Amino acid sequence: MTPDSAGSVAAAALFRRTYGAEPTVIASAPGRVNLIGEHTDYNGGEVLPIAIGARTRVAARANGSRQVRCVSASAADAGEFSLDDPQPSGKWWDYAAGLARQMSRQGAALVGADIAVWSDVPAGAGLASSASLEIAVGLALARIAEVEFGRRDLALAARHAEEEYVGVAVGIMDQFASALAVGGHALRIWCDTGETAQIPFGGSVLIFDTGVGRALRSGAFNARRAEVESALALLRRRHPALPSLAGATPEEVAAAELPAPLDRRARHVVTETRRVARVADALGRGEPVPGEELLASHESLRRDYECSAPELDWFVERAMRAPGVRGARLTGAGWGGCAIAVGDAAALESAAPEIAADYRVSFRRTPGWRITAASDGATVASLTVRP
């Protein structure tokens, strides 16, 4: 079995109940939380996520057809799609269908399968639940079809599927993190080249889910993408060879005198990618996460990228008043979702319930929280099925 066997057992049980047979493959892929480097991935900058303990598991078996049948423990609807002509349905399995289509386009000869999904990555919280679903499904489908499909190609296929098929213009961070992260390490990704490095990270991270939903998020996200594209186009008038917005220097951005708010959006991107490098270098030297870089990141996201929310700002301010907390910031796309705090594990353990209680009083909303280390990456295992 895979390292997270409790979840895998649950996925296998759902598979048996639904399809009346034993699964032959179990795949498992983690959600992620980003230590630093927000809204830099689609600007060609750097990011530094870790895999979290929450994961999506997929139990699967070939079904001898060209259909992929899908059931999930966390969704009322079950459905299916054709490998030959997958059509978007507006349902959760579009992630699987879009991915299968993209894997086929990239040359994978997939075969029909039944799949059962079990996940404890909360949906809509900004912890990459969809990326973890895509990566787990992709690993399972590749294993069942006995095709070699590299992790990096899978991550790229998943990102492409999410943009083309599901309609959100995300960057590569979530899918890369879910596919390539390794336990005990943060994954440094240079998003312009797709190059990655494993950076030892033994610390603890408090993930605080504000419970503020994503209603605004995809529209606001796509609006930011349009703004940074305009900023890059203007900068290229002065610097035609500029490879990406993150490739500009803070001095070049300041000198360009971009119109507001493009000046602020660009300033966030070029300063944030430099913060990632400083944090990764500190971790590489065996130092703890420099908390001031996280705080500077949050301030830049709040003021320059304007993707924070009162609940996220409240958390950062409140967490920093707790003894032993070294740094805090919003994580993921923002406009709600999750924030993180870093510090000693014991300090985070004692601070979290107090912060949650104060949050309930201030916002009349119950937050979610968990403390995570850099957890295991994605796995896939073939099961020995009794005849």
Task: Give catalytic residue positions.
Answer: 174
Nearer to ligand GLA, 43 or 72 (CB): 43
x/- site string to ligand GLA, residues 216 to 255, per CB under 6 A?
A: ----------------------------------------
CB of 353 to ligand GLA, least distance (A): 27
Q: What burial class does residue 355 get, using C-beta atoms within 10 Å of its C-beta: 0-12 exposed, 13-18 middle, 19+ buried?
A: buried
Nearer to ligand GLA, 35 or 235 (CB): 35
Report the residue count for the chain: 387
Nearer to ligand GLA, 38 or 293 (CB): 38
**Cα–Cα distance measured from residue 342 to residue 348, given in angstroms and rounded to the nearest whole number:** 7
Which residues, in sequence order, are bridge partners of residue 50?
33
Total of residues contacting ligand GLA (CB under 6 A): 10
Q: Rg of the Cα trace of the chain?
A: 21
CB of 301 to ligand GLA, least distance (A): 9
Nearer to ligand GLA, 258 or 330 (CB): 330
Q: 63 is written with which tokens? A: 């079904």
> CA 167 from chain center: how many Å?
16
Nearer to ligand GLA, 124 or 183 (CB): 124
Within 34-53, which residues bind ligand GLA (CB under 6 A)?
38-39, 41-42
CB-based burial, 226-237: b 16+ in 10 Å, e otherwise:
ebbeebbebbee
Q: How far is CA 311 from CA 134, 218, 255, 331, 375, in A?
A: 30, 19, 34, 13, 27
CB of 358 to ligand GLA, least distance (A): 27
CB of 243 to ligand GLA, least distance (A): 18
**Cα–Cα distance measured from residue 201 to residue 92, given in angstroms and rounded to the nearest whole number:** 33
x/- site string to ligand GLA, residues 151 to 180, per CB under 6 A?
A: -------------------xx-xx------
**Smallest Cα–Cα separation from 26: which of 58, 74, 68, 62?**
58
Nearer to ligand GLA, 83 or 173 (CB): 173
CB of 268 to ligand GLA, least distance (A): 11
Nearer to ligand GLA, 21 or 223 (CB): 223
CB of 171 to ligand GLA, least distance (A): 3
CB of 272 to ligand GLA, least distance (A): 9
Q: How many CA atoms lie within 13 A of 76 on its CB side?
A: 0
x/- site string to ligand GLA, residues 9 to 38, per CB under 6 A?
A: -----------------------------x
What are the residues whose beta carbons fall under 8 Å from the beta carbon of 325, sequence distance 6 or more? 206, 291, 319, 341, 342, 343, 347, 348, 351
Q: What letter represents residue 283's amino acid?
A: L
Within 323-342, which residues bind ligand GLA (CB under 6 A)?
332-333
C-alpha distance across the termini of the chain, in Å: 18
Within 182-201, which residues bind ligand GLA (CB under 6 A)?
none
**By CB under 6 A, residue 134 contacts ligand GLA:** no
Do 45 and 193 meet the contact criterion of CB atoms below 8 Å apart?
no
Binding site for ligand GLA (CB under 6 A): 38-39, 41-42, 170-171, 173-174, 332-333
